[in-house]
């Protein structure tokens, strides 16, 4: 097999080729490793997808079913002996003594660690411009953002620098960059994948998921990610095996389009691609109807109370005492804390720590945190009610296509609106997938499909049928 052909293989196909003896795992790894290393060496002159790349191909001993297919892993997953910095100066060079459960599981399934991917600092951002290790560029247009916070993972997969990648989603951090980079991104049901070893942003929302070239790859990776982990008290046994999707039709499937998430604030070009996808779905036999999620417009406000509140506490451990950056020449303990955190955290992280600390403060708790929790409950109830009438809910993933680098960095609220369509599902803890559904201004548009908790198989089947019908071509980004 020629090297150029290798990069056109999906992860599933590559694993199959290794199993069939048509491809050597070592050669495949080395081919990707050289590409990734070149991008890493180029820094911001390249796509800047990676914060670490393997120095050599691993031993050729990887088991089925992945047979050594290389895997790119978001920086915030702990990987023993490999820098795990969550995109932050405060963890620069930090090498944890242990490996995240989900990374271990994928390794046991035969995946091999190719690289760690760039991300927004502590997963806070929608453009990957908040990384301490430089911005990531969108392979469809290098002057544009890849989305975030799993921007490095999305750009690497889209550009063919990695066959697939692991990301995390808190309010849209897998789905939105997948949409902006023209690939598939799945946020699983909260609790279905262990969070042990994921450097936390907002514990009640964080969830690991795959970023892949196609829906089958997403299903294959997810199959080997899910399951209860005794080290994560919030993890659950997935009630059924994740199937590799084969559906070609959507006969009898009722798709709900929430009024609140498919009109105002969505770019016309995005809406157009979304409407076209709905038409395709109908051609495949789906029944499309409007649904109401009355509290969805409040989701963003609730999210920007809850997530920063949890983050303000989760990030308290970065105090310079035990690991990571410590400010030198501090006059006393408080000075050491203050200067360490001043130097170590970027502006967006500081903003959210301030927001979250305020929201939890005595006298403000009920008005902010308490109220946001009630909104969260209402949103979950909205979804439950909607799923009584439809099987799946569809929305555009992101209100816009990839925007220009720097375009929204001075307007945090503008930036936060990127998560308008993805945050409601995060608050409800339900699974959602983004698949590319067309182009607008030459840039990919994402279609988000969400289902009830643990409906991943249904979700993947529908996504697969639509993917086949739409026939999106991601090749331009790999050129």
Partner 1 sequence: MERRPVPDAYEPVIGLEIHVQLATATKMFCGCELSFGEPPNTRTCAVCLGLPGSLPVANAGAVHFGLMIGLALGSELAPRSIFHRKNYFYPDLPKGYQISQYDEPLCLGGALGDVRIHRVHLEEDAAKLTHVGSSGRIHGSDASIVDFNRGGTPLAEIVTEPDLRSAEQASEWLKLLRTTLRQLGVSDVNMEEGSLRCDANISLRPAGTSGLGTKTELKNMNSFRFIERGIRAEIARQQKILSEGGQILQETLHFDPDSGAITSLRSKEEAHDYRYFPEPDLIPVAIDEDMLDAARAAMSELPADRARRFQEIGLTADSAQQLAFRGELGDYFELALAAGTEPAPQAQMLANWIVGELVGRLTDGEDPAASLVQPGALAALVGMLGEKRVSVGAGRQVLDTLVAKGGSDPMAIVQAEGLAAMDGQDELAEVVKAALQANADAAERVREGNAKAIGPIVGYVMRETKGRAEGTEVARLIHEQLGMPFSP
Q: Which residues bind partner 1 (CB under 8 A)?
A: 76-78, 84, 86, 91, 94, 96-98, 100, 195-200, 202-204, 230-234, 309-310, 312-313, 315-319, 321-323, 332-333, 337, 357, 360-362, 365, 369
CB of 83 to partner 1, least distance (A): 12
Q: Minimum distance from CB of 92 to partner 1 (Å)?
A: 13
Q: List, by residue number, the catalytic residues.
A: 74, 149, 173
User: 267 vs 310, which CB is nearer to partner 1?
Assistant: 310
In the bound state with partner 1, the residue whose beta carbon lies nearer, of 82 and 284, is 82
CB 14 within 8 A of CB 5: no
What is the DSSP track for 381-427?
Answer: HHHHHHTTT-SEEEEESSSSSPPBTTSSTT-HHHHHGGGTTTHHHHH
Nearer to partner 1, 206 or 382 (CB): 206
Beta-sheet pairing, 70-74 with 112-117 = parallel
Q: Which two tokens stand for residue 332?
A: 């006393």
Q: How far apart are CA 465 and CA 408, in angstroms?
A: 35
Cis peptide leading into 149, omega within 30 of 0? yes
Q: How far is the CB of 46 from partner 1 (least distance, A)?
A: 27
Kindly state the DSSP code that residue 367 receives in the 8-state scheme.
I
Least distance CB 354 / partner 1 (angstroms): 13
| Beta-strand runs (E) in 220-285 | 254-258
Euclidean distance between CA atoms 435 and 465, whole angstroms: 11
| Nearest CB to partner 1, comparing residues 241 and 332 | 332
Residue 107 Cβ vs partner 1, minimum distance, rounded to whole Å: 16
> For residues 7 and 98, which CB has a smaller minimum distance to partner 1 in the complex?
98
State the minimum distance, in angstroms, from the CB of residue 192 to partner 1. 15
Sign (positive or negative) of CA dihedral 119, 122, 127, 130: negative
Left (φ > 0), alpha (ψ -120 to 50) or beta: where does 443 sit?
Answer: beta
Bridge partner list, 71: 113
Which lies closer to partner 1 via its Cβ, residue 29 or residue 77?
77
From residue 264, give the alpha-carbon distance in Å to each of 54, 261, 267, 384: 45, 8, 9, 24
- Cα 255 to the center of its chain, rounded Å: 24
């Amino acid at each position: 097999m020629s090297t150029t052909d290798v990069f056109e293989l999906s992860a599933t196909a590559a694993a199959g080729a290794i199993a069939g003896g048509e491809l050597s795992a070592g050669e495949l790894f080395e081919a990707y490793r050289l590409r990734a290393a070149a991008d890493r060496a180029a820094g911001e002159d390249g796509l800047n997808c990676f914060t670490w790349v393997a120095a050599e191909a691993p031993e050729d001993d990887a088991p089925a079913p992945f047979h050594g297919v290389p895997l790119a892993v978001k920086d915030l997953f702990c990987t023993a002996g490999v820098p795990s910095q969550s995109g932050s100066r405060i963890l620069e060079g930090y090498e944890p003594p242990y490996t995240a459960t989900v990374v271990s599981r994928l390794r046991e399934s035969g995946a091999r660690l190719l690289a760690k991917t760039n991300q927004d600092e502590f997963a806070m951002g929608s453009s990957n411009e908040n990384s301490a290790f430089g911005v990531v560029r969108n392979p469809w247009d290098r002057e544009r953002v890849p989305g975030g916070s799993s921007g490095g993972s999305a750009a690497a997969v889209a550009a063919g620098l990695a066959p697939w990648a692991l990301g995390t989603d808190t309010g849209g951090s897998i789905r939105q960059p997948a949409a902006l980079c023209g690939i598939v991104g799945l946020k699983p049901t909260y609790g279905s994948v262990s969070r042990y070893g994921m450097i936390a942003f907002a514990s009640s929302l964080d969830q690991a998921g795959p970023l892949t070239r196609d829906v089958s790859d997403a299903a294959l990776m997810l199959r080997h990610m899910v399951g209860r982990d005794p080290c994560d008290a919030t993890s659950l046994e997935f009630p059924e095996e994740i199937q590799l999707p084969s559906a070609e039709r959507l006969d009898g499937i009722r798709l709900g389009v929430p009024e609140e998430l498919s009109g105002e604030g969505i770019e016309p070009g995005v809406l157009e691609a979304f409407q076209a996808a709905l038409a395709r779905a109908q051609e495949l036999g789906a029944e499309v109807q409007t649904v109401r999620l009355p509290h969805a417009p409040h989701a963003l406000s609730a999210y920007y109370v809850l997530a920063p509140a949890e983050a303000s506490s989760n990030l308290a451990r970065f105090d310079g005492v035990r690991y990571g950056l410590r400010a030198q020449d501090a006059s006393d303990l408080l000075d050491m804390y203050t200067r360490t955190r001043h130097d170590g955290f970027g502006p967006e992280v500081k903003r959210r720590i301030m927001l979250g600390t305020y929201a939890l403060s005595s006298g403000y708790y009920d008005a902010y945190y308490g109220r946001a929790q009630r909104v969260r409950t209402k949103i979950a109830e909205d979804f439950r009610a909607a799923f009584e009438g439809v099987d799946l809910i569809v929305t555009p993933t992101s209100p816009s296509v990839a925007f220009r680098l720097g375009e929204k960095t001075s307007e945090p609220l503008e930036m936060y609106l990127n998560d308008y369509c993805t945050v409601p599902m995060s608050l409800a803890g339900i699974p959602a997938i983004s698949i590319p559904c067309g182009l607008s201004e030459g840039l990919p548009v994402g279609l988000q499909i969400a289902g009830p908790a643990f409906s991943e198989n249904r979700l993947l089947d529908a996504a697969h049928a639509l993917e086949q019908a739409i026939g999106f071509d991601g090749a331009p980004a790999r050129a």
